[in-house]
A and B are shown apart, each in its own frame.
Chain A
Amino acid sequence: MHIKTETASRHTLAVMVDNEPGILARIAGLFTARGYNIESLTVSDVTADHAVSRITIVTSASAETMEQILAQLDRLIPVHSVTDLTALGPHVERELALVKVAGTGDHRIEALRLADVYRARVVDATTTSFVFEVTGGREKIDTFITLMREVGLIEVARTGIVAMARGKNAA
């Protein structure tokens, strides 16, 4: 028999939740329990009293599944609001990555030159390695890492996407 697959598109969601123990497990567990996809998930409290956390989720789903994801998230008791930033229109997405590169001679020079092009900052250096900090959209970071692979990539740490709608509206 054939398992049906639907054409999926990528969506970035902003989910405001009570900052309480277990909330991340609740959200992530909802995705796994219902077979939804998580590409990236970031979370941190964002209010002065630390009462509310903002979770940014990047997911791929068909339009029908997307409607379910939003409804299911909204149904969780500690969820204040769920916004599909992709559906809302233009929005800003950023990610931060730490990229460790090792090498000597020309490789070091090439690494620094490329880092300059991608506005990556050197946050650690030894005689044989660099750690670069790079921020930007996902594609930019993907490309930077690909280039560094040829130069001498050792290790990558990425934060996952944080995102915000453009203009004066919140979420």
Chain B
Amino acid sequence: MNAEQSGADILVEALCDLGVEIVFGYPGGAVLPIYDAIFRSGRIKHILVRHEQAATHAAEGYARSTGKPGVVLVTSGPGATNAVTGITDALMDPIPMVVITGQVPTALIGTDAFQEADTVGITRHCSKHNYLVKDPASLGPVLHEAFHIATSGRPGPVVVDIPKDVQVATARYTKPGPIKHKTYRPQIKADPSLIEQAVDMLAAAERPIFYTGGGIINSGPAASQLLRELARITGAPVTSTLMGLGAYPASGDAWLGMLGMHGTYEANMAMNKADLIVCLGARFDDRVTGRLDAFSPLSRKIHIDIDRSSVNKNVRVDLPIIADVGHALEDMVRVYKARRHPKPDLAEWWSRINEWRAKGSLDFTDTKTEIMPQRAIRALWEATHKRAPIVSTEVGQHQMWAAQHFGFEGPNKWLTSGGLGTMGYGLPAAIGAQLGNPNALCIDVAGEASIQMNIQELATATQYRLPVKVFILNNQYMGMVRQWQELTYSSRYSESYSDALPDFVKLAEAYGWKGIRIETMDQLEDGIAAMLAHDGPVMVDCMVSQLTNCFPMIPSGAAHTDMILQAEEVSGEMDDEAKALV
């Protein structure tokens, strides 16, 4: 029989049993027993961030780049509320994450005690599930269950709120066996007859397209390989959401580029004219579909998703299949081969796609005077792609340019806040990725506005000697806001211009980083080379064309066929309905 241990010691032991190596957090009064237990055990590496929101994003970056759950430890009250943005982010982009929060002692709950917040109440709707642990004996089972829920099915954040007296009280901990939850049992395997139907529809289609999403990445590296195999044997084109980049290689024959609001012309036109859409681990988000009543009107639709509530949510589909997308892909490849379907003749379909592709929707023109932001991203790709870097981003124009112009060849290399669109995500995410992948090149592509939302994390990278790189595309505007103000508000740039930017080079140096400024085209390659040559964290302030906008673009509320390819095509003001959708 085990001896009794404090709740805090039970927690640490359970974390070790669950294979947790790194915890991102910030101490405070309500979690001091846990911090002491971590100190005494010496078995878990704790990363001290500078803001609890950054702890959650770092955990997301760690999770997304390694496939393992990210773990966060924060104190009660303001610590827990600061974590809410990252918890919501992880719910939207389904990232496996367990957030442990301290709580005031049980006797004080409900008394407006110092640093008390109703963490369970606050996080109820932004977590996949949450717990308030009132008894040290249930800590072990709750923690194991929390990890099971966070990592299985549609992954997501799970919050475990632990009052301080529960951390101190003692109980016995025994490692539980495999979790068999009484109600939560995600469906992993697809109904075989539905797979057969899907395969037959795919073999018979004349204009098929794979619409792939982050579900493939979440399913694990095998799912990406199976997608490549299925695309090879069917010859069908592949497009992806922002979250799905890398599941199919950007250099692959079937790749059309990203779809949706800032997707390529060929991807969106192919979606619009397809006779069969096979949606794999994506959820028909409004940034993908554009105007719903004009979304792919000619196609039959197959949707494979592990989350039943994502199916038929925005778009009615003809064949819904509830399953883990990796398992479903494995079944589809096997059945497709077993049925000896000949490779479909898609020559006509591809010739239409190639006509759309010939538009060159991602083309841009370099200038002599300014660095085009697209050129900066491509130069970054040129200099780094052989090292298969992990790229994170903040949110805005730079994020879309990175998605469009940085070709990803494999999964788990692209970390971005897709669903919630959280500025301040990229730097902590890069820190988390670097910790999970010590030998990888980790780059945060940032905007000068976004980077300031969690810039205090420069100190975290310094403290742990993490050689992350921050590459700022600096145009002095909240670029995406300005772009929409041009489109929808007759260029009234209400508050989108930053008039008091810091000197990012000096700022970097103040935090112990190397700072580099790139101002002209002839400095671009050397500047990037200097960034890569430095064995430590580097912040590059790359001054780019101030007024360049991100195209192609489907204006909010428009159809895929109404793409704006270049700035010259922008005209007039949107109607109210379109404005509301921005």
Interface residues of A (CB under 8 A from B): 1-2, 18, 21-22, 25-26, 29-30, 33, 64, 67-68, 71-72, 74-75, 77-80
Contact = CB atoms under 8 A, between A and B. Distances in A.
Given A18-B183, A22-B120, A29-B125, A72 B576 contact: no
Interface stretch (B308-316, B401-409, B454-462, B479-487): B308-316
B182 interface: yes
B481 to A, nearest CB: 21
Given A1-B575, A18-B183, A78-B183, A72 B309 contact: yes
Contacts of B184: 77
Nearest to A21: B132
5 contacts: A1-B575, A29-B124, A74-B308, A77-B183, A79-B183
Contacts of B577: 1-2
A75 B312 contact: no
Given A1-B575, A68-B313, A75 B124 contact: no
Contact of B576 (A1, A30, A67): A1
A75 to B, nearest CB: 5
Given A18-B183, A74-B309, A77-B128, 10 more contacts: A1-B577, A22-B121, A25-B121, A75-B308, A75-B309, A77-B183, A78-B183, A79-B183, A80-B182, A80-B183
What DSSP secondary structure best describes chain B's contact surface?
loop
A11 B309 CA distance: 18
Contacts of B316: 64
Contacts of A68: 309, 312-313
Interface string B564-582: 0000000000011100100
Contacts of B181: 77
Contact-residue bracket for chain B: 20 to 34
Contacts, number: 44
Contacts of A71: 308-309, 311, 313
Given A1-B577, A1-B580, A25-B121, A77 B129 contact: yes
Nearest to B311: A71
Contacts of B309: 68, 71-72, 74-75
A75 B311 CA distance: 12
A22 B183 contact: no
Nearest to B575: A1
A72 to B, nearest CB: 5
A33 B125 CA distance: 8
B149 interface: yes
A75 B129 contact: no
Residue with the highest number of chain B CB atoms closer than 10 Å, among A2, A30, A71, A74: A71
A68 B128 CA distance: 17
B229 interface: no
A71 B312 CA distance: 10
B307 interface: yes
A64 B312 contact: yes
A55 to B, nearest CB: 14
A80 B183 CA distance: 5
Nearest to B310: A71
Nearest to B153: A75
Interface in B173-218: 181-184
A2 B577 CA distance: 8
A95 B308 CA distance: 33
Contacts of A29: 124-125
Contacts of A21: 132
Nearest to B313: A68
Contacts of A22: 120-121, 124, 132
A20 to B, nearest CB: 10
B310 to A, nearest CB: 8
A75 B307 contact: yes
B195 to A, nearest CB: 21
Contacts of A78: 183
B307 to A, nearest CB: 7
B311 to A, nearest CB: 8
A77 to B, nearest CB: 4
B124 A26 contact: yes
A119 B578 CA distance: 57
Interface in B137-186: 149, 181-184
B219 to A, nearest CB: 18
B121 A77 contact: no
Nearest to B126: A33
Contacts of B129: 77
A18 B576 CA distance: 45
B312 A67 contact: yes
Contacts of A72: 309
Contacts of B149: 77
Interface string B111-132: 0000000001100110011001
Contacts of A1: 575-577, 580
Interface in B266-311: 307-309, 311
Contacts of B311: 71
A152 B75 CA distance: 57
- Scoring B181, B182, B309, B576 by chain A CB atoms within 10 A of each residue's CB, the highest score goes to B309
3 tightest Cβ-Cβ pairs between the two chains A and B: A71-B309, A1-B576, A1-B577
B232 to A, nearest CB: 34
Nearest to A64: B312
A14 to B, nearest CB: 15
B171 to A, nearest CB: 20
A49 B479 CA distance: 59
Contacts of A79: 183
Nearest to A72: B309
Contacts of B128: 77
B579 to A, nearest CB: 8
B164 to A, nearest CB: 19
B365 to A, nearest CB: 37
A122 B512 CA distance: 82
A146 to B, nearest CB: 38
Contacts of B120: 22
A21 B109 CA distance: 14
Contacts of B312: 64, 67-68
Contacts of A64: 312, 316
A21 B307 CA distance: 26
Nearest to B181: A77
A32 B149 CA distance: 24
Contacts of A77: 128-129, 149, 181, 183-184
A74 B307 CA distance: 10
A67 B315 CA distance: 12
Contact of B124 (A18, A25, A67, A80): A25
A97 to B, nearest CB: 32
A21 B161 CA distance: 14
A79 B128 CA distance: 13
A26 B132 CA distance: 14
Nearest to A17: B183
